[in-house]
Amino acid sequence: MKPLAVSVQRLRGFLPIVTCLVLVGCGLAPVGLPHFATISPALALMAVFYWSIFRADLMSMLGAFLIGLVVDLITAGPLGLNALLLLLTHELGVSQRRVFLGSSFLVNWWGFAMVAVGASLISWSIASLLHWQLHEFRPVLAQLVLSLGLYPAIYWLLSRIEQRYLRPSLST
């Protein structure tokens, strides 16, 4: 292998983390809709779930933790909450890889739905506990519905990125 080929391959190894961070940026970008920041889709959750299943070799626990920490710092939410949620998502994805790898997209979508519901409930519960009052659940539900509705598009995008840049080509 040529030295340039080695560095390109090494850079490709960071692609899952880079795509997660790009999706975090997209999710936090101002879109001009009122209250969108409170219901923006859980794009980082989607990406960590996808990469933990399909490229667990490139999405490590440390990567999931750091992505969650970036989300926590940017959103000024409870420090460590998203890091915890993404770590749990990563571990669930890795532990259930065999189930999801051999299954249809619908099974994968259902798996993400279970993860998203759990993450929403944990997030809402911790926010309520930190403020000693029950937070309104409608924004959480709206975010959940939006996330579930966007998951097929994010899955499609990440699978195309994986096929194009991370799977070995037949010509090499």
If pLDDT is split at 50, 70 and 90, which confidence band does 168 have?
Answer: low
Residue where the block lists tokens 């598009």: 153
pLDDT of residue 108: 97
Residue 31: exposure state from Cβ atoms within 10 A (0-12, 13-18, ≥19): exposed
Tens-digit pLDDT profile for residues 60-108: 999 999 999 999 999 988 999 999 999 999 999 999 999 999 899 999 9
Please state the pTM of the whole predicted model: 0.90
Mean pLDDT taken over the chain: 90
Compute the Cα dihedral for 61, 63, 69, 71 and give only its sign: negative
Spans of all domains in the chain = 36-166
pLDDT tens-digit series, residues 21-41? 999 999 888 777 666 667 889
pLDDT for 7 beyond 80: no
Contact 55, 159 (CB under 8 A): no
pLDDT, greater one: 29 or 126:
126
Amino acid at the residue 79:
L
What mean pLDDT do residues 5-20 have? 80
Q: How confident is the model at residue 172 (pLDDT cuts 50, 70, 90)?
A: very low
